[in-house]
Structure 1
Amino acid sequence: MEHKEIAKELLSRIGGSENVIDISHCTTRLRFNVKDDTKIDIASIEELEHVQGTFFRYGLFQIIFGAGTVNKIYKEMLQLCEPAPIEKEIEPQSRMNHFTRFAKTLSDIFVPIIPAMVASGLIKGLIGVLKEFGLSAADVPAMKMLDIFSSSAFIILPVLLGFSAAKQFGANPYLGAVIGGILTHPDLLDPSLLGSKALPTVNVFGLEVPLIGYQETVIPVLLSVYIMSSIEKLLKKIVPCSLDLLVIPFVTVMVTGFAALFIMGPVSLFIGHLMSECLGFVYQYAGPVAGLLFGGLYSLLVLSGLHHSFYVIEASLLADPEYGVNFLLPIWSMANVAQGGAGLAAFVKTKNADIKKIAIPASLTAFLGIAEPVMFGVNLKYLRPFIGAAIGGALGGAYVTFVHVAANSYGLTGIPMISIILPLGTANLVHYLIGFAIAAVSAFVATLCLGLKEEKE
């Protein structure tokens, strides 16, 4: 079927355009906010070509099409469907508890900037490969250019996050970017260059303000932009419309800028360092046990959508001078790889032709770092492969934790993660590949042993 035909069929089976409030999509999923869930014919939707699974999350009906395909079907849906207005729209967020709403907000802030992080991570990996195998000297012009390309996204990370966070908080995203720019201004010393030097300060109104920047950090800009959004919303209520263009941006940036450098920055550094210390303690003393638990349970977090909130923690680890590496991502990678191994076992065991058609490409996608198609489209349908994947993820997670595998970025898992593993040494890569094999093979074997019950699909 052509993508336009799929979109037409999908629209009729979801209750028509009059049942649709809003349509959105992510890397692999088309998401619908609908008026009446009972009008959705889930069984017939799952029979459509390219559909790899369906589920509800955050009050949204979500259909897995896979990377690339989802974009094309989304465009066709927009042509066919004009979401119908309703008198009082019920936002999906209103159906969540506070913790889930918080995690979704973090997810919505980080997901749009992940392509930038992935691009930077891959370029870092290319630099690492060229250096590791002696293919290029570090001081040649081309390598210097690549270094600029790879580090830029991390240096301006607060600017990117400021823009994205302001959009999520309902504020002016360009003012959010300005707050990120304040936190990374060249006149503020990059913490990585501080070393043993005394921290420079400036006296403002009798208070000593540290002149330190927040490049590559996450928490300072998130807190600062949240404060900014509150100030901007308050000003919009009290400032006359004739003066809003002059007064609101001026007061918002002035107040938030001082708050960011006086309060939010220092407090956020303390919070980030405390988080890193706690995780470092667990990593050092719990080691393989922590990897076993995290690797085994990570897929459950993916089901809930809470896994995106870990970007904050991973970014804090990378920005902390005491650590400077991401030791959590290899564990998450083992869980994703294990889903692929379990999916291959499901392909071997199942007699369902439709599942066989999905299982191979979805499993390969998991090995490339996107586990949701095989997780929702295959493993959860039978449940036992999902349990087998949890076993594989636990064993792989325990191994990579035991041998201290780490990455120099975030956003990549599976095979592409090799690019951010290799720069930390050949031994780091070898252990990662061993963990990869342990996770995939043990998940495959565990699923074969557990078997499938076709009648309880």
Structure 2
Amino acid sequence: MKNKQLAEVIIEHVGGKDNIISLVHCATRLRFALKDESKANADFLKKQAGIITVVQSGGQFQVVIGNSVADVFDVIMQLTHLNETPSKDAPSAAPKGVISKLIDLVSSIFIPVLVVLVAGGILKGIIALLQVCSIVHEKTPTFNFLTAIADAPFYYLPIILGFSAVKKFGGNPYVGMALGGALIHPAIIGMIKENIELQTEFFNIPIQLIQYKSSVFPVILAAWFYSLLERNFNKIMHDSFKKFISPLLGIMITVPLTFALIGPVVAFLSNSVANGIIYVYELNSVIAGMILAGLWQIMVVFGIHWGLVPFAINNTIVYHEDFMLPILFPAVFAQVGAVLAVMLRSQDPQVKALASSSALSGIFGVTEPAIYGINLPLKRPFVIGCISAMVGGGIIGYFKSVIFSFSFTSIFAFLQMIPADGLDDKFYAAVIGSIISFLIALIVTYLFGIPKDKKQNDDNETENYQLNSNQTDISEQVKTITIASPLTGQIIDLKEVNDVTFASGLMGKGAAIIPTVGEAIAPEDGEVVSLFRTKHAIGFQTKSGAEILIHIGIDTVKLDGQYFEAHVESGQKVKKGDRLVSFDIEAIKQAGFEVTTPIIITNSDDYIDVQCIFNQDDIQQGDALLALSANKE
């Protein structure tokens, strides 16, 4: 139920089902391709419980969910039926920029495929470990069965990518599977045998036949060409037979053309790019390792890291090893070290809980919760993590560590660096480099990267303010904006709210009220920026520019508007004291929900300080609640 409600909110605030061209997900984010991004409300989505943040990058509208992203994705697909009707608008509605197009293309094609590739890669690592430990021996039945399971996703990669690519390009994805299957059919493989290339012919057309098993790029370009043919055939053919004839003609043209031209040309270009990357790496592997490790998590923040994925996969297939993935290990474990330091140092139970779960996710290769939940908001831990990663990246670059199959950068991926003939210096360098980056980030963040406890900071800032007031006339430099209480009830510290998103201060500073009167009023003159469909949350902007979120109750979105009544509409101008929403406190409690209401200044970063100035237990509507300190213009 929780995932369904979150999915409904996301669909509504990305502009509705009709605004969605396509949707894929990676380990932590939903990646939307939208027809019109201006219809999406990123600011609103960022404030919702269950959403870590929103990133608009690479031509995609990315909603970062965290570990439960797959569950939310499944619900959205059920509600929108996107998987049933591939969008015909997808090719024409692609992002405008070349880089944006490429990032969107790569992520849309490869993200659905990575699950099976990573599973196969991890199993390859386990097989290598079993060989080193002399538990499994080569050419035994057990070894052959395990190898078949691990190799299958890579050997039949053209079939898997054929499905994913044709689906992305708007054609029939099952024809894409047949297209990939033709490239690795036993009749073709049997012609090549042990030769790398073979000169042959097709109806007297000369063909240079090469190995396509495990290939990456040829089938993708072939899928694009086939999809182009299918769409054009569908336009000119009658509805009664186009569903069969269009795929027939499309694949009959595409497969020979792929063998004759597309495959050899794309294979040559992809191998040339791979050789170029390796050449640059060989010029100075230490510097290359430091740069890639230091920039990786920054690329993750903007969602553009997927641009390197095809080349890493291509390297493992063409050269049976890849040097890029090991360099990323320190980048991941440095962020884990930084967030672990926050957990150890912080005195806030809510921050400790969020940091510990983020550290656990990071160990398994998912760093977005650590980045968006802790390290990036605190700034210094994120920067320290990136710099610490450079040290480990340099070490791994010096020893030129490699991985033998594709994987996510997680603790399991170390298994995939084990050579069949036993552990070597390259393996130990990757482990030691990752540990060093982890320890540097942990120690430096613990000593220098974390602000003092928030309460202590607030006390110190107040004390410093008073001291400075005795020396200079602060009133000439700072103006104070007072925000009144929209509720009547008992006031509590924001940290006491039973919701980590609010209690941690990630959404902004403010206060919380346990209401005794079921009515929320406008705290100041301003505008209702957003009114949640379920009426439990109001986004409000004052004339002075303060952005206020009034979130009535905890998890009350699950009530779907029951026991709430709205008296205003989104976009409506209101005066201080105007009634916004009324609600039935007792009914909400009987339904099993808290009525504790966080009142958040969501643009807290625009102010020098945000303080709760009401110093009694009970507050009335209209009483001064918050003081916002801002520089005078």
Give 1:242 deviation, angstroms.
2.6
Q: Judging changes above 3 Å, is the alpha-carbon distance between structure 1 residues 78 and 213 closer, same or farther for their aligned structure 2 residues?
A: closer
CA contact (8 A) 1:30 1:65 kept: no
Q: Distance in 2 between matches of 1:145 and 1:18?
A: 46
Q: Judging changes above 3 Å, is the alpha-carbon distance between structure 1 residues 295 and 175 closer, same or farther for their aligned structure 2 residues?
A: same
Aligned counterpart, 2:154: 154
1:385 matches 2:378: no
Tell me which of 181, 202, 205 is aligned to 1:204: 202
1:354 matches 2:356: no
What is the aligned residue count?
A: 437
1:37 matches 2:41: yes
Question: Higher helix share goes to which structure?
Answer: 1
Q: Judging changes above 3 Å, is the alpha-carbon distance between structure 1 residues 292 and 166 closer, same or farther for their aligned structure 2 residues?
A: same
Letter of the 2:254 counterpart: T
Q: Judging changes above 3 Å, is the alpha-carbon distance between structure 1 residues 74 and 317 closer, same or farther for their aligned structure 2 residues?
A: closer
Aligned counterpart, 2:278: 280
Aligned counterpart, 2:308: 310
Give 1:290 deviation, angstroms.
0.2
Aligned counterpart, 1:448: 446
Aligned counterpart, 2:553: none
CA contact (8 A) 2:15 2:40 kept: yes
Q: Distance in 1 between matches of 2:449 and 2:65?
A: 25
Q: Distance in 2 between matches of 1:179 and 1:76?
A: 31
Aligned counterpart, 1:372: 368
Aligned counterpart, 1:187: 187
Aligned counterpart, 1:113: 113
Q: Judging changes above 3 Å, is the alpha-carbon distance between structure 1 residues 168 and 61 closer, same or farther for their aligned structure 2 residues?
A: closer
Q: Distance in 1 between matches of 2:24 and 2:313?
A: 27
Aligned counterpart, 1:433: 431
Q: How far does the alpha carbon of each residue in 1:14-68 deviate from its partner, in whole angstroms, 9 at most, with x for none?
A: 696896435865433356778341772634x2xx3xx4721223453614232xx
Aligned counterpart, 2:54: 55
Q: Secondary structure of 1:402's partner? A: helix
Q: Distance in 2 between matches of 1:170 and 1:257?
A: 18
Question: Higher strand share goes to which structure?
Answer: 2
Give 1:332 deviation, angstroms.
1.8
Q: Distance in 2 between matches of 1:241 and 1:53?
A: 46
Give 1:351 deviation, angstroms.
4.6
Q: Distance in 1 between matches of 2:407 and 2:397?
A: 19
Q: How far does the alpha carbon of each residue in 1:291-311 deviate from its partner, in whole angstroms, 9 at most, with x for none?
A: 000000011111222212222
Q: Which runs of 5+ in 2 are unaligned?
A: 83-88, 458-603, 606-633
Aligned counterpart, 1:127: 127
Aligned counterpart, 2:552: none
Give 1:431 deviation, angstroms.
2.0
CA contact (8 A) 2:331 2:389 kept: yes
Aligned counterpart, 1:86: none
Aligned counterpart, 1:410: 406
Q: Judging changes above 3 Å, is the alpha-carbon distance between structure 1 residues 178 and 5 closer, same or farther for their aligned structure 2 residues?
A: closer
CA contact (8 A) 1:190 1:213 kept: no
Q: Which runs of 5+ in 1 are unaligned?
A: 84-89
Give 1:251 deviation, angstroms.
1.1
Q: How far does the alpha carbon of each residue in 1:293-342 deviate from its partner, in whole angstroms, 9 at most, with x for none?
A: 0000011111222212222101221222xx32011111122211111111
Aligned counterpart, 1:345: 341
Q: How far does the alpha carbon of each residue in 1:206-257 deviate from its partner, in whole angstroms, 9 at most, with x for none?
A: 4421232211111101111111111111111112223313421121011101
Aligned counterpart, 2:609: none
CA contact (8 A) 1:187 1:211 kept: no
TM-score computed with the length of structure 1 as normaliser: 0.86
Further displaced range: 104-113 or 15-24: 15-24
Identical aligned residues as a percent: 26
CA contact (8 A) 2:320 2:405 kept: no
Give 1:191 deviation, angstroms.
11
Aligned counterpart, 1:87: none
Give 1:346 deviation, angstroms.
2.3
Q: Distance in 1 between matches of 2:313 and 2:52?
A: 31
Q: How far does the alpha carbon of each residue in 1:148-194 deviate from its partner, in whole angstroms, 9 at most, with x for none?
A: 11111111001000000000000110111111112112233489964
Q: Distance in 1 between matches of 2:367 and 2:14?
A: 33
Q: Judging changes above 3 Å, is the alpha-carbon distance between structure 1 residues 153 and 74 closer, same or farther for their aligned structure 2 residues?
A: closer
RCO comparison, higher one (Cα < 8 Å, 6+): 1
Aligned counterpart, 1:401: 397
